[in-house]
Amino acid sequence: MTINSKLPEPLVSVIIPTYNRSKYLEQAIASAVKQTYQNIEIIVSDNCSPENPQNLVASFGDSRIKFWRHKENVGMLNNQMNAFKMARGKYVASLHDDDIWNQDFLAKLIPALEANSNLILAFCDQYIIDAQGEINAAATEGNSRSYKRDQIASGIHEDFQKIGLVDKSIPTAAACVIRNGLIDWDSIPSEVGGMWDLYLTYLCYISGYAVYYYPEKLTYYREHEQTDTMLSGRRNVQAKIRKAKSEMFCYQIFMEDVRLQEFHSHFKRLWLEANTTLGIGLLLDKEVKAARSYFWQALHEQKFNLRTLTALTLSFTPSIITNKVLGVY
């Protein structure tokens, strides 16, 4: 008599933090519900959206979905971390409320993690889609090249500090599955802000575990007007300031970590760029004195940088000229 000894699929927690994007949220949840890998819990954590999505979430009628709504806006990072801490699964995977997964996303990444207990995460490549959900072929290929995912060998990578922290190839917040229980979610400081995914990659690196790359595009990253990337330009000065502060905090930690000394100059360059970006944001916010201090600091560390010199010069010109010119930075 043959006994079927196949073990049950381990539970995977799908984390969907959301804020006021019901149209996209519905598509994100649908892509999670339709996963061919079925043993999942879906945690939708709402950051006190003015448009309460509770009825939308309930409309799926799926007992695997758990809905949490904060009584007040706790910020993007706290909302994300709260959902991670609610996860009961052996593995966790973050899904932005405006992104989509292929039906076989989990089915293709989980086996590698199950086969090797020394892996902390598995990740893949992604498509870039527009607000309407159409694939932007040029942006997709440009994204893969920019993050060098077109150059990464399929399989296990034990030394992934360059892949993860320099090339930023691992889309930790959008296209990867992480082994739960290895990361202390409370150890992610509030200062990382919108850079929490890069900092999470850092925590995965210093854990001593390895990562696995599956070289297919299994997720769809949506680019639209309300993403943090789009907001952190001149259209939203406060978003620009927040992003620069987050970058400075992360790169400072990376610069000080002796395990990353071979990349010290790289992280210092990015830290200096973030100093200038913060100065530009403060200048646009009419905090001229504070802005100059960051320009002077950046110039002191790198001696010459045209972007920084231009911004510093503009801090002494009428604001109408400053705002017009700094729109390109």
Q: pLDDT tens for residues 256-288? A: 999 999 999 999 999 999 999 999 999 999 999
Q: Do 269 and 188 sit in the same domain of this protein?
A: no
Position 54 confidence tier, pLDDT thresholds 50, 70, 90: very high
> pLDDT for 164-178, tens place per residue?
999 999 999 999 999
Domain coverage including residue 288:
232-326
Position 317 confidence tier, pLDDT thresholds 50, 70, 90: confident
**Residue matched to tokens 């994300």:** 80
| Range list of β-strands (E), the chain | 12-18, 40-46, 65-69, 91-94, 100-101, 119-129, 155-157, 176-179, 210-222
Is the pLDDT reported for residue 218 higher than 50?
Answer: yes
Mean pLDDT, range 305-321, rounded to an integer: 83
Mean pLDDT, range 289-298, rounded to an integer: 90
Mean pLDDT, range 153-169, rounded to an integer: 97
Which CATH number fits the domain that encloses residue 181? 3.90.550.10
Q: By mean pLDDT, which of 4-8, 37-41, 153-157, 289-293 is the weakest?
A: 4-8
Q: Do 188 and 218 sit in the same domain of this protein?
A: yes
Q: Do 108 and 179 sit in the same domain of this protein?
A: yes
Q: Do 172 and 256 sit in the same domain of this protein?
A: no
Mean pLDDT, range 63-71, rounded to an integer: 97
Kindly state the tokens that stand for 305. 């940088």
Q: Do 101 and 152 sit in the same domain of this protein?
A: yes
Is the pLDDT reported for residue 329 higher than 60?
Answer: no
Position 305 confidence tier, pLDDT thresholds 50, 70, 90: confident
The DSSP bridge pattern shows strands 119-129 and 210-222 to be parallel
Mean per-residue pLDDT over the chain, rounded: 92
Of 160, 166, 133, the residue nearest 147 (C-alpha): 166
Let me know if residue 249 belongs to a domain: yes
| Range list of β-strands (E), 97-208 | 100-101, 119-129, 155-157, 176-179
Q: What pLDDT is recorded for position 302?
A: 81
Let me know if residue 320 belongs to a domain: yes
| CA 231 to the chain's CA centroid | 15
Q: By mean pLDDT, which of 11-25, 64-78, 296-310 is the weakest?
A: 296-310
Let me know if residue 3 belongs to a domain: no
Intra-chain end-to-end CA distance of the chain, in Å: 71
Let me know if residue 5 belongs to a domain: no
Highest average pLDDT, of 6-20, 31-45, 304-318, comes from 31-45
Kindly state the tokens that stand for 29. 């949840």
Phi, psi (deg, nearest 5) at residue 255: -60, -35
Position 8 confidence tier, pLDDT thresholds 50, 70, 90: confident
Q: Do 33 and 115 sit in the same domain of this protein?
A: yes
Is the pLDDT reported for residue 5 higher than 50?
Answer: no
- How many separate domains does the chain show? 2
Rounded Cα distance between 126 and 141, Å, is: 9
Mean pLDDT, range 121-140, rounded to an integer: 97
Q: How many residues does the chain have?
A: 329
Residue 148 DSSP one-character state: T
> pLDDT for 191-208, tens place per residue?
999 999 999 999 999 999
Mean pLDDT, range 10-35, rounded to an integer: 97
Position 227 confidence tier, pLDDT thresholds 50, 70, 90: low
Q: Do 145 and 186 sit in the same domain of this protein?
A: yes
User: pLDDT > 70: what percent of the chain?
Assistant: 91
Of 98, 275, 122, the residue nearest 211 (C-alpha): 122
